[in-house]
Amino acid sequence: MSSYPLQRFRRLRYNPLVRDLVRETLISKNDLIYPLFVVPGENVKKEVRSMPGVFNLSMDKLVEECKEVASLGIPAVILFGIPEHKDETGSDAYDDNGIIQRAIRAIKKEVKNLLVITDVCLCEYTSHGHCGVLRGDEILNDETVDLLVKEAVSHAGAGADVIAPSDMMDGRIGAIRRGLDEAGFKNIPVLSYAVKYASGFYGPFRDAADSTPAFGDRRSHQMDIANTREALKEALSDLEEGADILMVKPAGAYLDIIHQVKQMTNVPLAAYQVSGEYAMIKAAGANGWIDEERVMIEAFTAIKRAGADMVLTYFAKDIARYIDKH
Ligand code: PBG
């Protein structure tokens, strides 16, 4: 390879048109999934303390919000439910009249052109805030999986378009796939939170979803932040169990993992830019320490460049507006 002065990289950087021409990673509204939090009550739109611009919404407000999201050209939302009553086994999660089931039906009735993805986990529904059924301090795997299957089938029955298990129990993807098939939902895809780390970046989400564990933490099921090999094993085993889309979470601090999972697998890959990633950009932006819009686009582009085909992000509406403007 010949180099300077024959080669001058700046030739392709001198003006915006040539920069556009050689740009490798393109961003699109088609790649956005917007997370939403539904709460009991009416006319509730309460901003999440640690996530400016993100709200807990009652059903009526949620439907309004979904109309706006669809009109912005965002193809999908992912729903999280905060039930009126929590109990030991998170029974609202798999109640056909639970908060998410009612929310799905309300959205499907009123909003066209929007995919409704549902987060399948128990932590928002259990009184102790853990992702499964407990015996003493232990989160029981197989007993929890049985309930997750019920939850997934109930969501599909209410009209969910895609089921997204976020719990990290072993074997849940296969069990959910079989459960969906047996219940007649063989065409409903499973988006697996396949590679989910035990991350400090979820802090603000637990404000939004009121799901901080009453004791202990999630390290007995979510992955160790230091591990790569294990991420690849998780991804491959979820594929074998029938996952249609894989996810890596969080995104920004795990770009290497996104890249490697993308290289190793042959299905669409999602990445979740989680609550703490959002909160950090918002906080620094609000202080004037960074240019919020610029960093928002940079972070989104980086996640796509690493290999994500789609991104779950609290910035989805802002990114859609940015794309419309540019
Ligand atoms: C579990 C779930 C969590 C998030 C998405 N699904 C919380 C957790 O694992 O503690 C976090 C998302 C975020 O931080 O934005 N239902």
What gap in Å lies between CA 277 and CA 251, rounded to an integer? Answer: 8
Clarify whether 67 is annotated catalytic. Answer: no
Q: Could you tell me if residue 3 is inside a domain?
A: no
* Burial (0-12, 13-18, 19+ Cβ within 10 Å), 272: buried
**Number of domains present in the structure of the chain:** 1
Clarify whether 112 is annotated catalytic. Answer: no
Q: What is the pLDDT of residue 2?
A: 75
Pocket of ligand 1 (CB under 6 A): 119, 121, 123-124, 166, 202, 205, 218, 274-275
pLDDT beneath 70: ranges in the chain: 1
Q: Could you tell me if residue 320 is inside a domain?
A: yes
Longest dimension (CA), the chain: 70
Domain that holds residue 156: 25-325
Centroid of ligand 1 to alpha carbon of 140 (angstroms) = 19
Q: Which residues contact 114 (CB under 8 A, 6 or more apart)?
A: 66, 69, 70, 74, 75, 76, 77, 107
Which one of 86, 249, 282, 304 is the catalytic residue? Answer: 249
Tokens of 95: 């109640």
DSSP character at residue 108: H
Query: Residue whose CA is closest, atom 2 of ligand 1?
Result: 166
Q: Could you tell me if residue 17 is inside a domain?
A: no
Q: Could you tell me if residue 16 is inside a domain?
A: no
Q: What is the pLDDT of residue 210?
A: 86
Strand partners, 77: 34, 116
Specify the amino acid at residue 248. Answer: V
Name the pTM for this structure. Answer: 0.97
Q: Could you tell me if residue 101 is inside a domain?
A: yes
pLDDT digits (tens, 9 = 90+) for 105-129: 999 999 999 999 999 999 999 999 9
What gap in Å lies between CA 241 and CA 179, rounded to an integer? Answer: 12
Q: Could you tell me if residue 261 is inside a domain?
A: yes
Query: Residue whose CA is closest, atom 12 of ligand 1?
Result: 274
Q: Could you tell me if residue 92 is inside a domain?
A: yes
Task: List the CATH number of the domain containing 314.
Answer: 3.20.20.70
Centroid of ligand 1 to alpha carbon of 203 (angstroms) = 9
CA-to-CA separations, 169 to 92, 145, 221, 234, in angstroms, rounded? 19, 7, 6, 11
Q: Could you tell me if residue 167 is inside a domain?
A: yes
